[in-house]
Amino acid sequence: MSNGDMGNETERRFLVRGEAWRKSAKKEVEYRQGYLSLDPDRNVRVRASADDAVITIKGKRQGLTRSEFEYAIPLEDATLLLSEVCQKPLIYKTRFTIPANRQKWEVDEYQNENQGLIIAELEVRRNGHRFAKPEWIGEEISEDERFNNAALVEHPYRTWRGAAVGLAKYYLRHSESVPEGLSRSLHEQLDVAITELTDSQELADEGIHEARKCLKKTRTLLRLARPILGRVYREQNTQMRDAGRKLSELRDMQVLADTVDQLKEKEELPSAAKPALERMRGIILRRKEELFRQAEQQNELPGVVEKLREIRTAISAWPLERITHETLMSAFEESMQRGQLAFAAALKNQQDEDFHNWRKRTKDVRYQLEFLHKMWTDVLSGYAANAKQLEQALGKDHDLAVLRGMIPRKTSQEKKDAALLAAVIRDERKVLRKEAESTGQLLYGESPKLWAERLERCWQAWK
């Protein structure tokens, strides 16, 4: 609206899934906005970009429609209002304009206190207006008041999943002893996992994904302490592995759906492959719905959460006080050795299970480097980034292997799809394995003993 414009606004709002939308984004503007009134029946907003500013008054919502009055104001005035008058925190977001299906979508990617939230909006002529949705459009939130910008001032998105998420720091601090750092990090990662699985009233992909990562980090910390923990390590690692598997069954279907979406974006994709991939995506999402329904019916997540709470309580009885920095160096040397052996086996045998094992060993190296990186931040962070890059390539290779195994082959159409998709998957895996071999040479090019000696020198200089 221009200066002095008034009228009615009817918007449909959706969460955004995946990253495919970025390729179609045509325009981006960074906004700062704040509120002089958060009253839902008469809220008053100040919004500024780098070039101009407006003040907007919105009336009471009637369904998806509400009255709106907008006026241009001097940028200097807006800056003063935002810094000194508007309620805090301010909303920071980048707006992208995306044309799709003869519609103009606006996608807002939030920053700061609302980092991680991406919302797509479409202004429609009336309630009930029908329109085609791009593939990256997710759950509709048009009537979910929590996602309103004014609501995000009082309850920022990053607080929704609990304070534990933001407070967790997965690295050994200079001020900590090794036992202190391990104990703190173990508690924090389990706290975040529990928070992710209990904050929502229903199963959610993001919470399950974050909880899985926390469990993987926790198991990696256990491996650093394995020389001392002995039987405790074996028992607790098994319990965490079993808990993680329950989460994996739920998360993997969404990962496979995302994998299909990424294949569909390939420029060299045969024309017949896209509808075949779309049919495959439907199979995956139906399987996902089935797994989530079973998990809810069997009430599985509360059991996982209870097990994680038991493990967290047990930490105080573990002999962590016996762990020294030499323990960490020795354990990391072993992780590097296992990674090198897995690397060699994968290249020699070219079997899916060997590449998957190599991925798991690389994940250990990555998370252990991240935990120790403060000893020499610039160098160790670089190696951790290399390990992450390698792990991601191997992870995509594994996802494609799983996807290939899920392709049905009963009907004539399914057999055609299977032949076509098998070729697409094979070509993509060749690229990924070549990338993995190149990155693996960088990460595993030195002997584990040299790695242990390097970390020992880092420790002596750091402490």
Q: Give the active site residues.
A: 35
| Torsions phi, psi for 160 (to 5 deg) | -65, -35
CA angle 389, 392, 393 (to 5 degrees): 90
Structure tokens at 331: 């354990």
- Pairwise CA distance, residues 100 & 76, whole Å: 36
**Torsion from C-alpha of 378, 384, 389, 394, nearest 10 degrees:** 170
- Angle, helix 377-406 to helix 412-443, in steps of 10 degrees: 160
Q: Before 89, cis peptide (omega within 30)?
A: yes
β-partners of residue 110 are: 93
Task: Tell me the longest C-alpha to C-alpha distance in the chain.
Answer: 73
Residue type, 112: N
- Angle, helix 205-224 to helix 178-198, in steps of 10 degrees: 160
Q: Are strands 43-48 and 103-110 parallel, antiparallel or unpaired?
A: unpaired
Q: Are strands 137-140 and 118-123 parallel, antiparallel or unpaired?
A: unpaired
Cβ count near 23 (within 10 Å):
9
Cα–Cα distance list, 81 to 32, 47, 53, 73, 91 (Å): 11, 10, 11, 11, 13
CA angle 369, 224, 350 (to 5 degrees): 70
**Residue (of 28, 113, 34, 112) closest to 73 by Cα position:** 34
CA angle 355, 433, 215 (to 5 degrees): 45
- Pairwise CA distance, residues 384 & 439, whole Å: 12
Q: Could you give the residue ranges of the DSSP H alpha helices within 315-351?
A: 325-349
| Torsions phi, psi for 5 (to 5 deg) | -70, 150
